[in-house]
Chains A and B, each alone.
Chain A
Amino acid sequence: MNAMMLENAQMKNLVKAISSNLIRAQNEERNEKDSSLRNSFLDMAGYDSVFLAKLLLEINDSVESSRYFLSAAFSYEKSGALNQSLACFNKIKEIGEEAFITDAEEGISRINSIKKEQLDITTREGKLSALDYLIWKHYGLTTTDAKSYMEKEFGQDLTNDSIRAHAKKLEERKRVIIWGGPQGREYHIYPNIADLATRSQHYGRTSLFAGSIQDRVTKEFRIRFENLDYNKEIFILNSSIKPKMIMAVDMNAFVKNLRVFTTPNFSLKALGVLRKSRDLENNGYKPMLSDELDLVDSDTLFNGLTDETIYNRATCGGT
């Protein structure tokens, strides 16, 4: 099967999944007491719509792509995933298809006018939305931080277990990424930026990115001796992250974890600043890639399965 046929099959499957989750969400509308299931289906529909929209954009179908971004924006907005929704509306503006611009602008204005006081925090979904709000406001919340902010900003005294359960739920819905835990260890909770419709609002911020190594692309960068201040290795993260992202790791991280970097599909979490590939030129690596890609310049790496820290620049970087 060639790449085109594979892509078509993948798109068909995504369309089916989106429809199916939207129908399920509609069926759950009747359940007025608990909207968890409905929102889960909406989040799944939103996630798949964004992925499909990105695939369509890769083949330059900007009209269909905008249509699916808009569908995702509405699904996310309805489920309370406001940052995901906002990213979809922003992406539609970035693409610039006129027929969708008004909807996008209205959507952005609507979401920006929502105040945290409007959240109904007496329900489980309300508490989830409140935690989601805090995670996107304060990057890298620990369980303790989250508990404290919940009390300060929402007047909610939740237990650590409850915070962890809510965070896990948000992770299942692909809104956040966690490292740390289980059994009493602190969670460190970050917004899931990689899967947003657009990452353009988040450059320069430190977040957590989950993926696996697809290719080593260090050779695609030319060394600029006048700027070289750190020896690095550079990799493409796995293909399920769209648009593609690259990860730069310190040389010490690479040599000390050579087995990890040579094990196909080894699952990793990288904590670092979101940048553009051209920004690495300031560190002495001029990109020669055909496209400009987003980059995570990681200073801490975790085993994606066990959450064990496998590299930390501050403690085991050395020189």
Chain B
Amino acid sequence: MDCIFKIPNGLPIYLVGKLVNDFDPIFCQVCKESVRFLGARDHLSVILKISASPQCDPKYASNLNISYAFDNTNELKTNINWFRTKSNARKNIMLKISPHEDLLQLSNRNVKAELRSFIKDPPIPIIPEMNEGICVKIIDLKEMANQVRSIKGEVVKLKYYKNKLEMNGVEYELPIYKIPTQNPLFMMEDDDEENKTTYCLKQMLLISSQLASEFEPNSAELRFYPGGALQLNSRGNYLSVLCLMTKVKI
């Protein structure tokens, strides 16, 4: 049975084109309310989520759960080549995503492409969402990506101190705020600096901030556990990017 997700442009596939640079394979999971592209490696995992309702028989849609793994080959790059230009991807041309048993069809009035899974029903990496921790609102993701790029060394130190985020000791100049949390671990005085610090790999933070800055989200936040993992989450109208970075043990 045919089932179609319609989205206003090809921006998500442009982002898949970015994922291809850092992840192999690219996983995809289609269910009744979303199409999710995922990448996972030792210290970073990413979910690119398209929220949309499929157009098909509601009974079929409610049971929809198909997984794919796309080999990061030239074939994949060729298939999504048209979308890898940002100007093409941002054009207001309706994109149709149609999931089939072992392939995903992408089409609009200019392109008709098929992404074929190299494994039937592959196991999908589990990428949990961090809902607690210290949360910092990021106003300008591009600026953040530039700041991360300029940091020297392989490891970035992040410190939340007096309502400001410092990266490797450099104060991040953008407006930030703390989201109240119920976890008593984070109910600490501001002068408890060491307990509000964590470390991550610069390369992972750079990949994440660049990816999240590739579209204009309605909100973006950086969330972390003191001494623990880090999450960058940017949300738009129908598209969101969630990047989970592991901590670096110091």
B132 → A minimal CB distance (Å)? 8
The reply to whether B41 and A262 form a contact with Cβ atoms under 8 Å apart is no
- Asked if A225 and B228 make an inter-chain contact with CB atoms under 8 angstroms apart, the answer reads yes
Question: What residues of chain A lie closer than 8 Å to B166, measured between beta carbons?
Answer: none
Query: B25 contacts A225, CB within 8 Å?
Result: no
Give the Cβ gap from A217 to chain B, nearest Cβ, in Å.
Answer: 11
Q: Is the interface of B mostly helix, strand, loop or mixed?
A: loop
Choose one: B25, B122, B126; the contact of A218 (CB below 8 Å).
Answer: B126
* Pairwise interchain contact A319-B41, C-beta atoms closer than 8 A: yes
State whether A226 touches B123 (Cβ < 8 A). Answer: no
Q: With A231-B125, A251-B41, A252-B42 as given contacts, are A258 and B246 in contact (CB-CB < 8 Å)?
A: no
By the criterion CB–CB under 8 Å, are B119 and A284 in contact?
A: no
Which of A225, A230, A258, A284 interacts with B42 by CB under 8 Å?
A230
0/1 per residue, A262-292, Cβ < 8 Å to B? Answer: 1000000000000000000000100000000
* A318, B125: Cα distance in complex, Å: 18
A219 within 8 A of B: yes
Cα–Cα distance between A223 and B43 once the two chains are bound (Å): 14
Contact status B45-A284, CB under 8 Å: no
Is B125 a contact of A228 with CB atoms below 8 Å?
A: no
The yes or no answer to B130 lying at the interface (CB within 8 A) is yes
List which B1-40 residues lie within 8 A (CB) of chain A: 23-25, 40
Residue A255 at the chain B interface, CB threshold 8 Å: yes
Interface: A115 (CB within 8 A)? no
The reply to whether A284 and B229 form a contact with Cβ atoms under 8 Å apart is yes
| CA A31 to CA B112, docked complex, whole Å | 77
State which residues 238-274 of A face B: CB under 8 Å.
250-252, 254-256, 258-259, 261-262
List A contacts of B45 (CB < 8 A): 231, 251
Decide if B52 is an interface residue (CB 8 Å cutoff): no
Q: A319-B41, A319-B204 are in contact. Are A228 and B123 (CB under 8 A)?
A: no
What distance in Å separates the Cβ of A216 from its nearest Cβ neighbour in chain B? 6
Partner of A318, one of B41, B126, B130, B229: B41
Q: How far is the CB of A227 from chain B (nearest CB, A)?
A: 7
Please list the residues of chain B having a beta carbon within 8 angstroms of any beta carbon in chain A.
Answer: 23-25, 40-45, 69, 118-119, 122-123, 125-126, 128, 130, 132-133, 185, 201, 203-204, 225-229, 231, 246-249
Please provide the 6 A-B residue pairs with the shortest distance between their CB atoms, ordered closest to farther. A226-B228, A228-B229, A225-B229, A226-B225, A223-B128, A225-B225
* A96 within 8 Å of B (CB atoms): no
List the A residue with the shortest CB-CB distance to B207: A319
Instruction: Give min CB distance, B203 to chain A, whole Å.
Output: 6
Please judge, given known A-B contacts A225-B229, A319-B44, whether A231 and B69 are in contact too, CB under 8 Å: no
Q: Which of A255, A259, A261 gathers the greatest number of chain B CB atoms within 10 Å?
A: A255
A311 CB, nearest partner CB in chain B, Å: 11
Which residue of the partner chain B has the closest CB to A283? B246
B-chain residues with CB within 8 Å of residue A225 when the two chains form the complex: 128, 130, 132-133, 225, 228-229, 231
Given contacts A229-B248, A319-B203, contact A261 B42 (CB under 8 A): no
Given contacts A228-B228, A228-B246, A229-B247, contact A255 B43 (CB under 8 A): no
- Name the distance in Å between A285's Cβ and chain B's nearest Cβ: 10
Contact (Cβ within 8 A) B228 A252: no
CA distance A241 to B119 in the complex (A): 28
CB of B43 to closest CB in A, whole Å: 5
Least Cβ distance of B211 to chain A in Å? 15
Sample of 21 A–B contacts (CB below 8 Å): A219-B126, A226-B225, A226-B227, A226-B228, A228-B229, A229-B229, A229-B246, A229-B249, A230-B42, A230-B43, A231-B45, A233-B125, A251-B125, A254-B40, A258-B69, A258-B122, A284-B246, A318-B41, A318-B42, A319-B41, A319-B44
B25 nearest CB across to chain A (Å): 6
In the complex, the chain B residue whose C-beta lies closest to that of A263 is: B119
- Is A317 among interface residues, defined by CB-CB distance under 8 A? yes
A-side contacts of B246, CB under 8 Å: 228-231, 284
Cα–Cα distance between A162 and B23 once the two chains are bound (Å): 46
A146 to chain B, nearest CB (A): 34
Contacts of B40 in A (CB 8 A): 231, 251, 254-255
B-side contacts of A228, CB under 8 Å: 228-229, 246-247
Instruction: Report Cα–Cα, A225/B135, bound state, in Å.
Output: 14
Structural contact, A254 and B126, CB atoms closer than 8 A: no
- Residue among B128, B204, B231 with most chain A CB within 10 A: B128
B179 CB to closest chain A CB, in angstroms?
A: 15
User: Is the beta-carbon distance between B125 and A319 smaller than 8 angstroms?
Assistant: no
- Report the separation of the CA atoms of residues A216 and B126 in the bound assembly, to the nearest whole angstrom: 11
Q: How far is the CB of B161 from chain A (nearest CB, A)?
A: 19
* Distance A116 CA – B25 CA, assembled complex (angstroms): 52
> Which residue of B has the minimal Cβ distance to A227?
B228
Question: Is the pair B41, A255 in contact by a Cβ cutoff of 8 Å?
Answer: yes
Q: A226-B225, A226-B227, A229-B249 are in contact. Are A319 and B42 (CB under 8 A)?
A: yes
